[in-house]
Structure 1
């Protein structure tokens, strides 16, 4: 970056700017996925919306590349681009709860941990994610699903307003009554339309939940998945449970005799009467006797943080996803094959339920393209050792290629890999893609915001 431009930016912004010559540069460019090793020209830590507006103006006026980082959890690493300017929203971590109106305003750099902590104090929450280290911004803009989706819908179904810095540096507040086309696009359209500096969410009753984990030997994957595909969609919406293939981590609550064993299982979340949970999941014995079954009441934020230490920042990650409306026997055979051949102890596959309340929102009401999906699947190759990066990538790609013919064609946009084609983005938005392209042309005709799963402007 030209030195004069850099000094002008430093003079105009409240937040610090880190460049390659600075001692803190390597730590500043580090994100959740250690497989991503990119070197931006500058990292601008934006203190507030004013910083974002000024930084966007500088980038646009000097014809620089731009990327935006909220929580830095992007598996595809889209928040970093070589030789570009990354707008880092991390200083904008704040949550303001209105317990009477049951709403929360959330800064664009906030993590789910911030949101869950602030809302839990009032017995409230937002359906969002399964890990507290995830950024609110990226998850929301992709649509957002998690433990509470069957009960309360997608994250964007609870979004009621957003403050956005546009490509021309202007600032707008958008909702169903203000810039409604932009608001529609933000609900699932990713980071294509601007920099969201704050979100406003409708909150729902969420206090303590009952958490459950049921595991079976991986050899029983076929029987368990045949049972799961029938059981969960018919279960009360107070019960959610994502299916997983995994190697059992060494630690509580798992007994030592199953540590490291390859298993299939379900992670349960029950929001109903705590005394009724065992009745709700009594059917877990139907496919086969579980090797492990555990339930316990837990504050919702504790549950959201349960996997944080198991898969911390700094691991090698490669993932791909797809939507599914059914789990046919042919797909079950694929899951069984790759589950028995997990390449590393942390590699996994999850099927998240996205039915229930999410199905009661009309497909035309948001940019999310798959209201008819029942599961959102993700295959994740994970390991701490960079030497295993190609091994986990190959397993993930092979698994995905064998499974994809049994999918609906598109994926949760946050589960699309960086090396996937533009056709995958189009498949993800289905009939909404053309409308999104028109909105993109209206608000960002030069495609300034293109470091994302990009929607091309179309006039």
Structure 2
């Protein structure tokens, strides 16, 4: 018998019909193929199917479903909980399906299901077009968009899912569907935040915006200035134009020429300002921050695709992230946030982040299952470290950060920012008012919950109320 209890004849038949490749334990490429972004995740699938076409995906889904295998779907591999891998099951690996084509006249990008942000951003760059992407270039487009999608451009343009024009999807039955506002509209609605619960997304059409250049500012202070800077940043963002994005964070100061030597590899408070326009105007708008007396600065105009690569998180680190979405960020919350920064696992790439929302995010469609879009602030402890001995400390820091600011929490959460935190958090991510509708869509397109290795929605027949316990088995 082959791994996972499959007979060799069946496996040979799958291989023969694929344009792509099947990798099993013992193959030279196996360990590389099962490596994902979070080094804490060490899972051993029975097989990894590296698909090259929608037909390959359909074959892989049918093969796994008919044999009762657990099925995981891998795009960018950035799920902090490792949802793109499984033990003893089948991984549908989309990384060979990463082509991006751009229609500059229509301002539309067609994106393969395995593309990462770098693929999308570099394809749109020659046309001076862009859409809201993740804040690092290695994030998978598929999981990002299907989860809602927040990034540097969201205050100006809205969430990534707001730009969805269509999705091509393979269902749990192996059926290929084209979804849009006119085709399978209820399923298309569910794909605006419902994640990978409804099938394998093999391609997307996304609306683009003109964006010739962005201005990026990175301002840094020694940590003693953090509270003053955080209050000033909060007050600035509350009246800033939508074209301004960015965030406030504590991080380990990098060994760059613009950083004073005595700050390198030590905790620093930083402000990132992004602006969808020229540097001169950005400086004028951001004057309240530029006058705070920062200790280091980097200010430049650059293409958006280059901005996306500037803060890429290095692979190979252990990861634990979480988030709390806030209705307000008053002085007591500022104090707690700044005090908690000293608990970070440093020196490391860990970041203690405050992101703003508002603008086009808050004005976006209220109907989509992304209830967190109305919160003006996000606290996002983002832990990366190397030593397994720091695992418990990093988790405690992230959970304590959330607990600190919980009195101001909206209750909702962006599920792409968290790992496996229980059923209540899954319901908070979709919104209790959306859960009934989502479970009915799930029941129609995946009644057996084949796609359950995610922030899961259990299928539920129409008319039966969704309740706690919605999240999957």
In the TM superposition, structure 1's runs of 4+ consecutive aligned residues that sit over 4 Å from their partners are: none
Residue equivalent to 2:261: 256
Is the aligned partner of 1:208 residue 2:208?
A: no
Instruction: Spell out the pairing of 1:27-106 with structure 2 (5 A cutoff).
Output: 27-106=32-111
CA distance in 2, matches of 1:39, 1:404: 37
Q: CA deviation at 1:347?
A: 1.7
Q: In structure 2, which of residues 200, 216, 224 is the aligned counterpart of residue 219 of structure 1?
A: 224
Residue equivalent to 1:425: 426
Tell me if the contact between 1:232 and 1:241 (Cα under 8 Å) persists in the aligned partners: no
Q: In structure 1, which of residues 370, 374, 377 is the aligned counterpart of residue 376 of structure 2?
A: 374
User: Which string of whole-angstrom CA distances, capped at 9 and with x for unpartnered residues, describes residues 174-208 of structure 1?
Assistant: 11111111111101111111100000001101122
CA distance in 2, matches of 1:391, 1:6: 44
Q: In structure 2, which of residues 293, 302, 320 is the aligned counterpart of residue 298 of structure 1?
A: 302
Q: TM-score, normalised by structure 2?
A: 0.93
Is the aligned partner of 1:7 residue 2:8?
A: no
Deviates more, 1:70-79 or 1:261-270: 261-270
Q: CA deviation at 1:410?
A: 2.4
Residue equivalent to 1:314: 316
Please, which runs of 5 or more residues in structure 1 have no aligned partner? none
Q: Which structure is richer in relative contact order (CA contacts within 8 A, separation 6 or more)?
A: 1
Partner SS state of residue 10, structure 1: helix
Tell me if the contact between 1:229 and 1:326 (Cα under 8 Å) persists in the aligned partners: no
User: Which string of whole-angstrom CA distances, capped at 9 and with x for unpartnered residues, describes residues 237-275 of structure 1?
Assistant: 121121111121122442323212312221111112332
Please, which runs of 5 or more residues in structure 2 have no aligned partner? 462-473
Instruction: Spell out the pairing of 1:49-448 with structure 2 (5 A cutoff).
Output: 49-285=54-290, 288-308=292-312, 311-345=313-347, 346-364=349-367, 366-418=368-420, 420-430=421-431, 431-448=433-450
Residue equivalent to 2:465: none
Is the aligned partner of 1:458 residue 2:463?
A: no
CA distance in 1, matches of 2:423, 2:69: 23
Deviates more, 1:152-161 or 1:5-14: 5-14
Tell me if the contact between 2:337 and 2:404 (Cα under 8 Å) persists in the aligned partners: no
CA distance in 2, matches of 1:198, 1:377: 32
Q: CA deviation at 1:285?
A: 4.8
Q: CA deviation at 1:439?
A: 0.9
Tell me if the contact between 2:149 and 2:161 (Cα under 8 Å) persists in the aligned partners: yes
Tell me if the contact between 1:221 and 1:335 (Cα under 8 Å) persists in the aligned partners: no
Cα RMSD between the aligned structures?
1.5
Tell me if the contact between 1:146 and 1:352 (Cα under 8 Å) persists in the aligned partners: no
Tell me if the contact between 1:347 and 1:392 (Cα under 8 Å) persists in the aligned partners: no
User: Which string of whole-angstrom CA distances, capped at 9 and with x for unpartnered residues, describes residues 313-346 of structure 1?
Assistant: 1111111112122112232222112112322222
Deviates more, 1:321-330 or 1:251-260: 251-260
- Give the number of equivalent residue pairs: 454
Partner SS state of residue 446, structure 1: coil
Partner SS state of residue 363, structure 1: coil
CA distance in 2, matches of 1:169, 1:139: 23
Tell me if the contact between 1:150 and 1:356 (Cα under 8 Å) persists in the aligned partners: yes
CA distance in 1, matches of 2:444, 2:221: 52
